[in-house]
Structure 1
Amino acid sequence: MKLSRRTRGVAAIAGAASIALLATACSTGGDSGGDGEDITLTVTTFGTFGYDDLYQEYEAANPGVKIEATNIDTGGNARTDAFTKIAAGSGLSDVVAIEEGWLGAIMEVSDQFVDLTEYGIEDRKGDWVDWKYEQATDADGRVIGYGTDIGPTGLCYNGPAFAAAGLPTDREEVAALLEGDWAHYFEVGAQYTAATGKAWYDHSGFVWNSMVNQLDEGYYTADGELNVEDNAELRDLFGLLGAATEGGQSAAQAAWDWNGGKSFVDGTFATFVCPGWMLGVVQGQVEAGGGDASTGWDFADVFPGGAGNWGGAWLSIPETSQHKEEAAKLADWLTQPEQQVKQSKAAGNFPSTLGAQEELASAAEPNEFFNGAPTGAILATRAEGVKAQFKGADDSVIQENVFGPPLQALDRGEVDTAAAWDQAIELLHELVEE
């Protein structure tokens, strides 16, 4: 088996977990399958995918096929789960969702996944935005993923919070107010914080990720070289964010934990970075916190610094699947434009197929939860100019484990910006192999 050059930390986690996994791992395919026999297809996704109704629709149209679905809470935990099972040599589902942030690491073990050109994916190449298809193509020309969504990003904001600060609440006026670079976004944030005494954004980590994703080259250069320590552009952006955080603009929330959703309801912060898939997260958090559409969250056609892509996923078929052909049929069907439109309506994400994008843009259906905002049409606009940034093998680990802890400490006021940067570089040397 070809092993990835992953971080020492992740490799250690995978190795330790695989010991337990080897003792408990079960067959990935369910029933033995075969012509005319009933089969069970296992699927693992993460976050908010919006597939539940589609699974039922597929089962109804394909008698004899049963889908057993597992959804992991976050992409980071899904990454650990996938690499633990790859290290163990068993346990992966028949269909596995892969997140953009760790696709680079998956590409280093791409031979562990089925080459989908053997199942006709080349006939669909024109369905997707070109860079989505290319991202899942390895150095040998093997295509290992059916594209699901992409992550063009707009800005979620809370109307009542804006009103309390004397800021406009109409989404077109908000877009005009916030048009500009990150420095301008933080300038408005300083005004908001001064007027209300409350935070502008939920925590620095998500803002940082959005800033990095807009660069031509992020944590890696386009040719795969690590690009952090001596990256002046990255350091300048970190300083800009740090100054805003030190100025009280961060609500110091933990990533993926907003006080059980209550922080989305009680006015703890006013803005939230929203790639398409995050709209479903916002709605889920508001509802978990006891709120509803009247809580006042809206979605504006604007984003600091311009176009950017955060996230997106693919459906892949591991070589260990006992039902490769049927798994490929399911993954192909789930990623057809018709299904991507349904997925978008269920999860709020934005499709990677051109046909689905065009349908959402033309329909401009109001999203009642976000004050009637035509979220699909807005995301279609936000997708203009988006290009895929090269993601290296340790990209998601750098984001979460290298920059995550220092930014959390900065949010809590335990370190200043300079110390947070130094801490990140120390973690980089510790966790990421040069």
Structure 2
Amino acid sequence: MKTSSKTKLAQSVALLGTLALLATGCSNADDAAKADPASADNPVTLTVTTFGAMGLDDLYEKYEKENPGVTIEATNIDTGGNALVDWKTKQASGAGLPDIQAVEEGWLGQVMAVSDSFSDLRDYGIEDLKSQWVDWKVEQATDKDGRIIGYGTDIGPEGICFNSKLLEKAGMPSERSEFAEFIGGQDSTWEDYFAAGKKYEEKTGKAWFDQSGFVWNAMVNQLDEGYYKKDGSLNIDGNAELSNRWKMLADATEAGLSSGQTQWDWGKGQAFLDGSFATMPCPGWMLGNVKGQVEGAGGDATSGWDFAGVFPGGPANWGGTFLTIPTTSKNPVEAAKLATWLTNAQSQAAAFEAAGTFPSNLEAQSSEQVLGSNELTKFFNDAPIGQLLAERAEGVKAQFKGADDSVIQEQVFGPATIALDGGKDGQAAWDEAMSTMKNLDIK
């Protein structure tokens, strides 16, 4: 397996216009099916582009061993936002797309706008596999014409990561079940979570959560309708639920509950070790990031981080990924075989064990690898992570993501949450966000 990494794509690339539909490559599944299968005598190289911590590296090597003649060239981009820029750049130019492209839930709406440039996976047998995933995962990957363009990998049910040592030092509930009750238990609200944070801040003078952007993302994602209504119309102006949640978050930052950390950096992981903050929203895939940040900064399982199966405001899903096959793939049949294998129960269970990416595959959710002990559970104070995430996945509803959903999250409310953390008044930060949205001509 050959791997490469792209860590900082130019953020100035803003391809917000209509993306060009691609007409090249193999778009006829019947013709593709006539190709000879990969073998030692008929070698095939498959290119795969992913992002973040998806837990697939060991799986690539295993697949190559089990499938002589297949070589996987894997590129992993550091974040979903940078992966979106990479995809949009290549999609617009009509060149450079891989055989398998990982697509994040947050930018699925943009992908669906050009769904004809992705293979219809019904041509490769996905109809026979649909029952293996949670039903809403398949619905998300189905376009308006009924074409299914993505194999489901993980989903992102959310709990709360918390540092038990910091809470114990503050004389506050630090054992997992006690902490869960401290922030409101199974009926926890955002008011409960912030009230607990104010108590912590008053005792310690320290922040409660790492930064406002992730909290805001979670608050929006758990609504029945977020930035868009189900009919595809924008859902921000006059949305009382959004504005009320924004005010709650603004009040929390004004009270000193946010540490104002830089997203995906956390002072190169030091903030997880130096007591800068005590809690943060954690979808399953975030757990691998936390572990990696702590270890990268020289810490280990003794750092005090734990995971509670409770979440303010009720069930919430943040993120989750799909494996798609652009129509430009020269090896769509072999790509479909690989994508099918990477999303089966055994592979998703292995990916969870490696990176904490909670499976969308139902069989994998109940596997020993997911429910049992592993390096991730040991790091989080032996928390039964798989069981807790399975419980948090109950009641999750797939939120409709419009074409500019990720643009709104990152370019409209991203700067606004940073402004909140910097001390800007909540109303002023909201007004600036609305002005930015108008300038971007988001409708």
TM-score normalised to structure 2 length = 0.90
Contact 1:85–1:92 under 8 Å retained in 2: yes
Question: Cα offset for 1:409?
Answer: 1.3
The number of residue pairs the alignment matches comes to: 411
Q: Deviations over 1:259-295 (max 9, x none)?
A: 0000011110000110000000000111111111000
Question: Cα offset for 1:297?
Answer: 0.3
Q: Aligned to 2:298, which of 287, 290, 302?
A: 290
Q: Aligned to 2:142, which of 116, 137, 142?
A: 137
Contact 1:14–1:80 under 8 Å retained in 2: no
Question: Cα offset for 1:9?
Answer: 7.6
Output the amino acid matched with 2:427. A
* Distance in 2 (alpha carbons) for counterparts of 1:13 and 1:255: 27
Q: Aligned to 2:61, which of 50, 56, 61?
A: 56
Q: Aligned to 2:91, which of 86, 93, 101?
A: 86
Equivalences for residues 12-91 of structure 1 within 5 A: 35=37, 36-91=41-96
Secondary structure, in 3 states, of the residue corresponding to 2:95? coil
Output the amino acid matched with 2:143. D
* Distance in 2 (alpha carbons) for counterparts of 1:378 and 1:361: 14
Q: Deviations over 1:295-346 (max 9, x none)?
A: 0100011111111000000000000111000000000000001110000000
* Distance in 2 (alpha carbons) for counterparts of 1:104 and 1:95: 18
Equivalences for residues 284-363 of structure 1 within 5 A: 284-359=292-367, 363=371
Output the amino acid matched with 1:372. D
For structure 1, the 5+ residue unaligned runs are 1-7, 19-32
The match for 2:245 is 237
Question: Cα offset for 1:228?
Answer: 0.7
The match for 1:218 is 226
Question: Cα offset for 1:433?
Answer: 2.6
Secondary structure, in 3 states, of the residue corresponding to 2:171? coil
Would you say 1:409 and 2:409 are equivalent positions? no
Contact 2:350–2:369 under 8 Å retained in 1: no
The match for 1:27 is none
* Distance in 1 (alpha carbons) for counterparts of 2:369 and 2:394: 12
* Distance in 1 (alpha carbons) for counterparts of 2:17 and 2:82: 11
The match for 2:401 is 391
Question: Cα offset for 1:14?
Answer: 10
* Distance in 1 (alpha carbons) for counterparts of 2:172 and 2:405: 37
Contact 2:353–2:369 under 8 Å retained in 1: no
Q: Aligned to 1:262, which of 267, 270, 276?
A: 270
For structure 2, the 5+ residue unaligned runs are 1-11, 21-34
Equivalences for residues 149-228 of structure 1 within 5 A: 149-178=154-183, 179=185, 180-228=188-236
RMSD: 1.8
The match for 1:11 is 15
Contact 1:190–1:249 under 8 Å retained in 2: yes
The match for 2:23 is none
Q: Deviations over 1:165-222 (max 9, x none)?
A: 2111110111111121001100000000011111000000000000001100000001
Q: Deviations over 1:378-408 (max 9, x none)?
A: 1001101011000001111111110010110
Question: Cα offset for 1:255?
Answer: 1.2
* Distance in 1 (alpha carbons) for counterparts of 2:324 and 2:230: 24
Question: Cα offset for 1:254?
Answer: 1.2
The match for 1:109 is 114
The match for 1:418 is 427
Alignment CA distance shift 1:263-1:316 (3 Å):
same
Question: Cα offset for 1:365?
Answer: 2.7
* Stretches (4+) displaced over 3 A: 12-15, 33-36, 360-364
* Distance in 2 (alpha carbons) for counterparts of 1:95 and 1:422: 40
Question: Cα offset for 1:360?
Answer: 5.2
Question: Cα offset for 1:91?
Answer: 0.5
* Distance in 2 (alpha carbons) for counterparts of 1:360 and 1:203: 34
Contact 2:100–2:339 under 8 Å retained in 1: yes
Q: Deviations over 1:41-86 (max 9, x none)?
A: 0100000010011000000000010001000000011011101101
Contact 1:13–1:84 under 8 Å retained in 2: no
Question: Cα offset for 1:362?
Answer: 7.9
TM-score normalised to structure 1 length = 0.92
* Distance in 2 (alpha carbons) for counterparts of 1:51 and 1:9: 28
The match for 2:124 is 119
* Distance in 1 (alpha carbons) for counterparts of 2:344 and 2:266: 34
The match for 1:250 is 258
